[in-house]
């Protein structure tokens, strides 16, 4: 069986390719530059068309094209050749999902965040399915090498603090003092509770406030997307509050416990936290997760209800996961048995203290979480379900 894998530069790509090969597919790759024109790039369209035509000339033609994230240019080419296009949305936000091409009949778009899926469907986007993200089982093999070794970290966090040029809220100039003060109050309220999207609720942050904010932001929205400025603006606010709460929670943890941060080198680091720089996804990350007593997950607020990749990777590596509350984490995993969830910033402090002091209980939770992920959410099992559904269409 032949399939085409659209490859771009993201963590875990090779593991996804290996999974398709284990499922019996011959994988042909096409390179995609995600930073380029993913809407109607003639060069990408030409290369993909040539590859599909070559497959069609063989006795074993292309069964489908797959990509992590959704690319309109791929969808249009697949539509022309009547080749199914499977995409598994990996990033948040991912504005390609507002492209009119999502209506192409060949699409099977798998979205890991059910809250976002419902929002998109209400706006008219079709061909969506809810499918959790998946892990490379080889990560567990990498982490297993550290079984029985002493812990290296008491508390650790791998991820961005979003203190970079992509934190667009900080670049907005000329905001009136009253509007900035209003937003500061909104940020403070949002940081007090997890699992509830205050910034996306028009009853709590009215559209008139968002529109006033938009008067100080320039958007270059072309006609290729059905994107609304209010959606972009609320995501800008969600990312800003994520930056604030990650720094705040890590700083508060650092006042009481040894906390290690793996992030972009040069990032401004909260007081009391040790910045150890970048951790490679396939080599260093499994070691950190397995050799940390407590692994912290603080979810990017643009994710409405979904389970972030970090949470699944921590559990796959046999690490103990202490995460902010996410509706789908509570739904698909057993709280207190396979992971632990914090509903407020104070919970992070209380639960970290408790589980650092209760080693057997913590390690049992980590083992249970790893078992659940490796039984249900590996690339092999998730991709098998995706392709099985395709065969049944």
Tens of pLDDT, residue by residue over 120-152, are 998 888 899 999 999 999 999 999 999 999 999
Residue extents of the structural domains in the chain: 2-134+378-392, 138-169+241-376
Q: Find the mean pLDDT for residues 271-298.
A: 96
Q: Which residues contact 227 (CB under 8 A, 6 or more apart)?
A: 95, 98, 221
Torsional sign, CA 207, 209, 212, 214? negative
For residue 68, pLDDT beyond 60: yes
Q: Which of 27-41, 156-170, 236-250 has the highest mean pLDDT?
A: 236-250
pLDDT tens digits, 10-21: 888 999 999 999
Strand order in the sheet with 62-68: 26-31, 2-7, 62-68, 85-89, 107-111, 128-130
Please give the pLDDT value at position 158: 98
Q: Find the mean pLDDT for residues 261-273.
A: 92
Q: What is the H or E stretch that residue 68 is in?
A: strand 62-68
Helix segments in 6-85, DSSP class H: 13-22, 42-56, 72-81
**Average pLDDT score over the chain:** 93
Please give the pLDDT value at position 228: 80
Residue 304 half-sphere exposure, CB side, CA atoms within 13 Å?
16
For residue 34, pLDDT beyond 80: no
- Name the percent of the chain lying above pLDDT 90: 80
Tell me the CA distances in angstroms from 89 to 94, 182, 251, 309, one per residue in order.
8, 33, 32, 11
For residue 227, pLDDT beyond 80: no
Q: Find the mean pLDDT for residues 289-308.
A: 97
Q: Identify the architecture of domain 2-134+378-392 in CATH.
A: 3-Layer(aba) Sandwich (3.40)
Closest CA to 319 of 147, 135, 122, 90: 147
Q: Cis peptide leading into 93, omega within 30 of 0?
A: yes
Q: Say which residue the tokens 């999974």 belong to.
A: 19
Please give the pLDDT value at position 392: 65
Domain 138-169+241-376 has CATH 1.10.150.20: no
């Amino acid at each position: 069986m032949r399939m085409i894998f659209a490859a771009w530069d993201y963590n875990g790509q090779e593991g996804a390719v290996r999974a398709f090969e284990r499922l019996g597919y011959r994988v042909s790759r096409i390179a995609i530059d995600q930073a380029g024109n993913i809407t109607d790039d003639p060069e990408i369209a030409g290369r993909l068309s040539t590859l599909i035509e070559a497959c069609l000339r063989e006795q074993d033609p292309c069964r489908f094209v797959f990509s992590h994230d959704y690319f309109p240019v791929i969808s249009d080419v697949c539509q022309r050749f009547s080749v199914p296009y499977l995409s598994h949305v990996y990033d948040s936000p991912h504005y390609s999902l507002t492209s009119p091409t999502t209506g192409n009949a060949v699409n099977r778009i798998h979205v890991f965040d059910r809250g976002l899926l419902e929002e998109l469907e209400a706006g008219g986007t079709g061909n969506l399915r809810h499918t959790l993200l998946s892990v490379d089982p080889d990560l567990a093999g990498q982490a297993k090498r550290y079984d029985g070794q002493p812990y290296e970290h008491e508390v650790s966090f791998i991820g961005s603090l979003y203190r970079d040029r992509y934190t667009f809220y900080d670049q907005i100039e000329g905001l009136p003092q009253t509007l900035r003060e209003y937003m500061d109050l909104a940020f403070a309220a949002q940081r007090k509770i997890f699992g509830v999207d205050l910034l996306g609720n028009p009853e709590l942050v009215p559209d008139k406030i968002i529109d006033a904010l938009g008067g100080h932001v320039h958007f270059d929205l072309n006609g290729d997307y059905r994107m609304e400025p209010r959606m972009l603006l609320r995501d800008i606010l969600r990312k800003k509050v994520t930056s604030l709460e990650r720094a705040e929670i890590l700083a508060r943890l650092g006042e009481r416990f040894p906390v290690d941060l793996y992030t972009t080198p040069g990032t401004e680091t909260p007081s009391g936290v040790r910045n150890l720089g970048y951790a490679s996804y396939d080599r260093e990350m499994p070691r950190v997760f397995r050799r940390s007593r407590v692994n912290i997950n603080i979810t990017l607020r643009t994710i409405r209800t979904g389970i972030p990749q970090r949470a699944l990777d921590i559990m796959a590596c046999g690490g103990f996961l202490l995460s902010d509350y996410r509706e789908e984490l509570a739904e698909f995993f057993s709280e207190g048995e396979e992971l632990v969830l914090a509903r407020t910033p104070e919970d992070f402090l209380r639960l970290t203290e408790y589980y650092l002091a209760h080693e057997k209980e913590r390690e049992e939770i980590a083992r249970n979480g790893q078992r659940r992920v490796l039984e249900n959410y590996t690339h092999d099992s998730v991709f098998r379900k995706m392709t099985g559904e395709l065969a049944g269409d």
